[in-house]
Amino acid sequence: MNLTKLRRQFPALMQQVAGKSPIFLDGPGGSQVPQQVLSAMSAYLGYYNSNLGGAFFSSDKTVELMANARQAAADLLNAPSRDQIVFGANMTSLTFSFSRAISRDWQAGDEIIVTNADHYSNVSSWQQAAEDQGVKVNTVLINEADCSLDLAHFASLLNQNTKLVAVTYASNTTGSINDIQRIVAMAHEVGALVYVDAVHYAPHELVDVQALDCDFLACSAYKFFGPHLGMVYGKREHLEGFTPYKVEPAKDAIPGRWETGTQSFEALAGLIAAVDYIADISELDDSHSRRDKLAAAFTKTKQHEMALSEHFLTRLVNYPKIRLFGIDDLERLSQRTPTFALTFEGLEPRQVSEFLGKQHICVWDGNFYAQGLCEQLGVLDKGGVVRIGCMHYNTIEELDKLFDLFDQLI
């Protein structure tokens, strides 16, 4: 992977701020965007801005765009059909919408399972739906040693009354990756549906909904180099079987029956370009399918991201006043993303992020809506953690500059 060539595609990475090149280690909160995404969005708005169903050229273009965007998302997630992709404003809004439809038939005595590993978009939505229906909510704890999901605890909560399991593919705070295929299999044994939050996972690993056999999977384009746009994959029988809340004149065919209001067509143009950007990293020619290109690209980016993780963790051991939450074993790098949750002895997380921000190194601090995780780790009322998040456009040299500033800070 030619990292220099790759980075030149991102205007944000090429800019100067107060005479310095900024370092973006804030990827888990939203990645930077390559020029081809910006160009695609601008071109659609500039020449074809329209709605669906009109008898004129720009509306025809928008219809074509919508179909192409669904196919790009289907290729990214390995959905059996593009009709199984639902778009919306963001993952949170879509999840609230799906939670209301899926919970319509829940009743007293039913149970659901959420986890302490999740962003609360995949917790609060289900908790509130359960409260409306008088359904019991069970919460899976994490293994505090590595911040992975406690699968033994999960197994103890599963029973014949469990209607749904909401679980994250990877923690947006610690980077720990969960064994979703195993979790889905366990849930299906008792007849429960599984709704997977892949928002943090999707920028780092290739998703395969068919291999996972999950019932639903949600992610967000702005986390994988695209615009603000949410999407949900659903099994066909669920998208057709559940009854969504929608306006009466809207058609009842999938996937449109799940999409309320006018979509952000410029964002859909950006989504296509973002997926193609990732595929282009493979450097394979067009004799290969987009899915094959994506698989090859993620193999390359995963290798680079594991090298970043190894470098970060190897250097971190020399800083006893910095505590890491999550996987620190170099033999388990494939089980985490290059996202690191830290606390600094004697310093609040905000002090650290402000210090780094003044040097134009962008990092986040807080709980990142992973309230249960931060509460279990005992950092919720202490400002949360400092989150260092690498993407495949980050470099070893950028991490070394970060550690140079850690020396000054500590």
Percent of the chain with pLDDT over 90: 99
Confidence of residue 354 (pLDDT cuts 50, 70, 90): very high
Confidence of residue 105 (pLDDT cuts 50, 70, 90): very high
| The architecture CATH gives domain 3-34+291-405 | Alpha-Beta Complex (3.90)
Tell me if 3-34+291-405 shares its fold with 40-276. no
Using a cut of 0.75, tell me whether the model's pTM lies above it.
Answer: yes
Cβ atoms 384, 365 nearer than 8 A: yes
| Mean pLDDT computed over 53-74 | 98
Confidence of residue 241 (pLDDT cuts 50, 70, 90): very high
Across the chain, what does the average pLDDT equal?
97
Q: Domain ranges in the chain? A: 3-34+291-405, 40-276
CATH topology of domain 40-276: Aspartate Aminotransferase; domain 2 (3.40.640)
d(CA 196, CA 210): 13
Alpha helices in 106-214 (DSSP H): 124-133, 151-157, 180-189, 209-212
217-232 pLDDT, tens per residue? 999 999 999 999 999 9
pLDDT at 57 over 90: yes
Query: What's the pLDDT score for residue 43?
Result: 98
Which two three-digit tokens encode residue 167? 């679980």
| Mean pLDDT computed over 361-382 | 98
3-state SS assignment for residue 166: strand
Confidence of residue 1 (pLDDT cuts 50, 70, 90): confident
pLDDT at 49 over 90: yes
Contacts of residue 68, Cβ cutoff 8 Å, sequence gap at least 6: 272
Query: What's the pLDDT score for residue 261?
Result: 92
Contacts of residue 370, Cβ cutoff 8 Å, sequence gap at least 6: 117, 118, 119, 120, 171, 172, 173
| Count of other CB atoms within 10 angstroms of residue 145 | 10
| Mean pLDDT computed over 225-252 | 96
